[in-house]
Amino acid sequence: MRVGKGYDRKGKKGKGREIRRSFSEPCLSTVIIGDMADGALKSIAIVLALIAVGGIFVAAEIALISLRESQVKQIANLGKRGARVAALTKHPNRFLAAAQVGITVCGFLSAALGAEQLGQYVIPKLEELGISTGTSEILSIVGITLVIAYISLVFGELVPKRLALYKTEAIALASAATIDRIAIVFKPIIWLVSHSTDLVMKLFGINAKTPRSQISEAELMDLVSGHADLTKEEREIVTEVFKSSDRLIDEVMVPRSEVDFLDASLTISQARKIVVKLTHSRYPVVRGSSDDVIGFLHARDLLDPKFDDAQLTIMEIVRNIMFLPKTSQVLQALTEMRSKRQHIAIVLDKNGGTNGIITLENLVECLIGQIQDEYDGHETQPQPKARVGDIEISGEVLLSDLLESKGILLPAGPYETVSGFVTHYLGRIAQVNDVIRINGARFTIISMNGKQINQLLLTRDSGN
């Protein structure tokens, strides 16, 4: 490149000699700028790498916390990695401290290195804009910190947490080994952090070693009602299961007044004549009194040709029957009857007498609704029309709630719900349109769920 005439070493003007300026100065600037760019890129890469590593620790922490007990049991069978996950979840303080050590170190280093390393490139640019050195340093620290904080929040916190919630098992399996090794390497630090945390918790009156409370029934109900994968019918069944946990069998049993008993003295032929007129498959067998039940008889036993002996009594072919106290809960009774493979049981009153019978069908209907067979009637009865002032209530309303909300006091007894009270008061299986008047209130049954009262109309009698 021609730049005109130059000068020799003594300062004399050269004669016709052209001097080419060395390219050393522009080349030096280019190298410096290139080095600065490379340095800035390296610093940015280091900061981003630290944020990414911190995000891995965040994802691992959330994944391990979010694992349900059922998931942990399944994962434990997936080899060494699964066993390591199960071991970590048994000691949550250990993996939480290890994850927090990783998160804190990565966060501290990314912020410190970012402000220090990137600041040396940002400050000169701000000074070129006419900003003083002191102000440039402050603006550099604030600006770089805000940018790093934003990137850390999005890519180091929120994204890893969401990924961990959607890919809980996969992330837990992938990160368990890393968390476990960190817990070993930083064991003294983790011990110090954990014990310091426990000490602070004690100041708040909380014992850190006490296991966290299990999910409550109300929370489970909320989960069921909001679960998108469950159909309406499935939700109703689960809801009824929870309701049945507090329901007693004397609320759903068949009262003794509605039970068809067979006397043990009857012959096979006599029993056959009685059974063909009825629609049941199983009959309690008594010895003289319904309070003295000795077993039960299945209808098909009477049809067995080997029992055609005219003198043979049903006493000789009776089967053993199960006895349950009336205070037994529905689910408890269902479990016990299933385990003993019993389809019918005698419900005993407080004196040991017969209060009624309960069948598997009765118990199952509490959970899934009425089960109709070919002998059940299909006709529908007209429902009573509600009048002004009538209140429709569920049979599952507790008597205590009825007193609190409506001010209606019902007599205490071996029942807790309105359905149980009405059934006890009637002394038989309730029917649609049955009416009970008591304490200035009238209860009219408007719908049934099998043998169980579903809905009632509550009416205040005039003058009360």
Please measure the distance between the N-terminal and C-terminal CA atoms of the chain and give it in whole angstroms.
Answer: 116
Predicted confidence at residue 296, as pLDDT, reads 93
CA atoms 128, 134, 137, 138: torsion sign = negative
Pair of tokens at residue 272 = 């056959």
Token pair listed for 149: 């904080």
Q: Please list, in sequence order, all residues whose beta carbon lies within 8 angstroms of the beta carbon of residue 26, skipping any fewer than 6 positions away.
A: none
Instruction: Note the pLDDT of residue 372.
Output: 56
Cβ atoms of 145 and 111 within 8 Å: the answer is yes
Residue indicated by tokens 């077993």: 295
Residues 253, 357 contacting (CB under 8 angstroms): yes
Predicted TM-score (pTM) of the model is 0.48
Q: Which pLDDT does position 26 carry in this prediction?
A: 47
DSSP 413: -
What is the number of helices (H) and of strands (E) in the chain?
Answer: 17, 13
CB atoms < 10 A from the CB of 59, how many?
26
pLDDT computed for residue 307 by the predictor: 75
pLDDT in tens, the chain (464 residues): 444 444 444 444 444 444 444 444 444 444 444 555 677 788 888 889 999 999 999 998 898 888 888 788 888 888 888 888 888 888 787 888 888 888 888 888 888 888 788 878 888 888 888 888 888 888 888 888 888 889 989 998 999 999 988 888 888 888 888 888 888 888 888 888 888 888 888 888 877 666 555 566 666 667 766 666 677 777 777 777 777 667 788 778 888 877 889 999 998 888 888 888 887 889 999 998 888 999 999 988 888 777 776 678 888 889 999 999 988 888 888 889 999 989 999 999 888 889 889 988 878 877 766 655 555 544 444 555 545 457 888 887 888 777 777 777 888 777 778 888 888 888 777 888 888 888 778 888 888 876 678 888 888 765 44
Residue (of 411, 413, 412, 418) closest to 444 by Cα position:
418
C-alpha 315/C-alpha 313 separation (Å) is 5
Question: How many degrees, rounded to 5, is the angle at CA 54 between CA 84 and CA 81?
Answer: 15
* Nearest Cα to Cα of residue 421 among 265, 404, 441, 371: 441
Tokens representing 385 are 């029309």
pLDDT recorded at residue 400: 78
Task: Write out the residue limits of the CATH 3.10.580.10 domain(s) in the chain.
Answer: 249-368
User: 254: closest CA among 365, 338, 397?
Assistant: 365
458 close to 441: Cβ distance less than 8 angstroms: yes
For domain 391-460, the CATH architecture is: 2-Layer Sandwich (3.30)
CA–CA gap between residue 219 and residue 69 (Å, rounded): 17
Find out whether 395 and 450 touch, Cβ atoms under 8 Å. no
Residue 46 to residue 52: CA distance in whole angstroms: 10
Comparing CA positions, the residue from 291, 290, 312, 311 lying closest to residue 301 is 312
Is the distance from CB of 418 to CB of 392 less than 8 angstroms?
no
| 8 Å CB contact between 47 and 110 | yes
List, by residue range, all CATH 3.30.465.10 domains of the chain. Answer: 391-460
What is the reported pLDDT for 226? Answer: 67
Instruction: Determine the CATH number of domain 249-368.
Output: 3.10.580.10
Tell me the C-alpha distance between 449 and 343, whole Å. 20
Residue 63: partners with Cβ closer than 8 Å, 6 or more residues away: 164, 167, 168, 169, 171, 172, 175
